[in-house]
Amino acid sequence: MKIEDLFKIKGKVALVTGGSRGIGEMIAAGFLANGVKVYISARKEDQLNQKAEELSEKFGGECIPIHNDLGTLDGVEELVAKYSSFEDSLDFLVNNAGAAWGEPFESFSEGGWDKVMDLNVKSMFFLSRNLTNLLKKNASLDDPSRIINIGSIEGIQVPPFETYSYAASKAAVHHLTRALARKLVSENITVNAIAPGPFPSMMLGPAVNHDYSFIEKTNPRKRIGSPEDIAGLVIYLCSRAGAYTVGDTITCDGGIVNASSSNWTD
């Protein structure tokens, strides 16, 4: 029951998609700070390599970049092949890579719909499926492997912006999480989702001109999310403490969904 045993993840191997910035970077940093070997993937190669080097130096761990575009099934298969050339097993898969799209209802484009749904939902499913054998390698009844899908509170409540495909995709992520959890739990792989609220990122930032002050004022916790908030929740789910949590979608939003009577930008 000691905390160092309940939350121990040292010696494990993780793959974090979209791991070079934003929430993905925060999760990768949390893993590295606690002794996990981390592979991060992203589409922008120079930024990815720089971030992997920076995180490795900062935390004294191994952060290995895998340049990849998960927007297509070919990209999914390429990531699996590249990862498999380094490792023959995987303990934690964090499906974080995603895209958003905002456009007026009257002119919302097919391209904006397909790009978001393909990356946020389709690639998540096929990457999880194609890595299942590696996730099963070290999984056991007492210490299952983990898949953590990054959803959004926009998939729970109606978003304030015209991000129709994004909101639909994140609702799909939450339900897909339950379906995958039911399928994989017997293989000693637990699947859960996290639905973040506002965190500093290149996804939310441009929509608010990187000024989060008005969001902070309306948040029940009076701030936006920090790296410790999201990394701590991921560590819980990946540790002994979270080994009995299955198929859940956990909000990480300062109380917007469950402790607020207004929308998060009202």
Asked if the structure places residue 260 within a domain, the reply is no
The CA dihedral of 220, 221, 226, 231, to the nearest 10 degrees, is -80
Catalytic hit among 83, 164, 166, 212: 166
Asked if the structure places residue 113 within a domain, the reply is yes
83 is catalytic: no
Asked if the structure places residue 25 within a domain, the reply is yes
Residue 82, CA distances (Å) to 167, 191, 224 in order: 31, 23, 35
Q: How many C-beta neighbours within 10 Å does residue 254 have?
A: 24
251 with 197: CB under 8 angstroms?
A: yes
Closest by CA position to 28, among listed 74, 97, 123, 76: 97
Q: pLDDT for 65-101, tens place per residue?
A: 999 999 999 999 999 999 999 999 999 999 999 999 9
- CA-angle at 247, arms to 179 and 143, nearest 5°: 115
Asked if the structure places residue 188 within a domain, the reply is yes
Residue numbers of the chain with a pLDDT score lower than 50: none
What's the total number of domains in the chain? 1
Indicate left, alpha or beta for 80 from its phi (over 0: left) and psi (-120 to 50: alpha).
alpha
pLDDT at 208: 67
Report long-range pairs for 261-264 (Cβ below 8 Å, ≥24 apart). 262/218, 263/157, 263/158, 263/160, 264/153, 264/160, 264/197, 264/198, 264/215, 264/218, 264/219
Asked if the structure places residue 48 within a domain, the reply is yes
Asked if the structure places residue 258 within a domain, the reply is no
Asked if the structure places residue 223 within a domain, the reply is yes
**Secondary structure (DSSP) of 222-241:** SS---HHHHHHHHHHHHSGG
CA distance 23 to 17: 10
Asked if the structure places residue 261 within a domain, the reply is no
26 with 227: CB under 8 angstroms?
A: yes
Q: Which CATH number characterizes residue 64's domain?
A: 3.40.50.720
Which residue range is the domain that position 230 belongs to?
3-252
